Homo-oligomer: A and B are copies of this chain.
Amino acid sequence: MSSSYYSQEVHGPFEKFDLGNFELESGEQLHGLKIAYSTFGNLAPDRSNAILFPSWYSGTSKILEQAYLGAGRALDPEKYFIILANQIGNGLSSSPDHAPGPFQGPRFPRISIADDVRAQQELISKKFGIESLALVLGGSMGAQQTYEWAVRFPDQVKRIAPIAGTARATPHNKFLVQTFIDAITSDPAFEEGWYREGAVHRGLRRHARLFAAFGFTTDLFNTAAWREIGFTSADDFVTGFVENHFLPQDPNNLILLLQKWQSGDAAKITGGDLVAALARIKAQTFVIAIGEDLFFPLKDIAAEQKLIPNSVLKRVSSIWGHLALFGIDAGYNASIDQHLKELLAA
């Protein structure tokens, strides 16, 4: 399953940037790190029009392209050179499911958000010669990477738009994510990560259902708003949409991403001082929160925004909750485009 899912046919076209052996924040080494990415549009001669958009949990560059890019939209390839970067562990970039030698599966080293950002920085500078990004944006785990970018490389980012995510995972968020991990690893077929392909589907299905219970709003269920996209019941929707999304994915990949999500903390660079970390940000910042989001509540996002010098909080709304990120809700998409256009024009 996973081998055909993480393919050019499903998620391409994408290219890979080879970083060789890569020293991780943990001190461990990742043997032969490759970052998969897609680009759209043309880099201006002065290299001033580059936008970086890293992927979120369980997503790839493909969904970012489908949900956020297009002529006339904020992220318009006619105007910008847009780099969609796949997270380490998402199945396209180096990941447990296809790591070489003995480093596959549970032997793949733990990765941090900072590892991704450092690798992306090499990609944009070494591959494209970009010294400054017009915009870094991302949703959820993409927001974690966005914050890390602005804190770690404050002089290389002109604007940031973290959407529906936090600079530091909150205690509740870590706890919630652990229930997702436990749903997968508690499947007896998981066998400490040495499962047969496809065997962990019960765990993945339970994980998908927890993801759905929190990821959408109660109103989505209570008003059966999934009818808009062709489903007939809560079970039909959750199975056909959410289980369907996760079933072809590799359990070890997902767990790697979930652990990275839990450990997300842009203040590691300042010894844990979040106030000092966020004060480092020089980018013009639109912090975008989804008012109904149960993964990343508005309150938590707003608390961080107040610590960022040149920032504004933008609240959007969707009955799809956190998972409005997928681009299912035209109202959400329009609001995001409006905010991004305003930010890019600034």
Contacts and interface: CB of A to CB of B under 8 A. Distances in A.
Nearest to A188: B188
B186 A202 contact: yes
A308 to B, nearest CB: 19
A172 B218 contact: yes
Contact of A234 (B175, B186, B202, B297): B175
A170 interface: yes
Nearest to A203: B186
Main secondary structure of the interface of A (DSSP, over half): helix
A224 B171 contact: yes
Interface in A277-335: 294, 297, 299-300
Contacts of A209: 175, 178-179, 182
B218 A300 contact: yes
B186 A299 contact: no
A304 to B, nearest CB: 12
Contacts of A210: 179, 210
Bin chain A's interface residue count: 20 to 34
A151 to B, nearest CB: 20
Contacts of A294: 294
Contacts of A213: 172, 175-176, 179, 214
Interface string A209-248: 1101110001111101000000000100010000000000
A187 B182 CA distance: 12
Contacts of A214: 213-214
Nearest to A205: B182
A300 B222 contact: yes
Contacts of A212: 175
Nearest to A180: B213
B218 A170 contact: yes
A110 interface: no
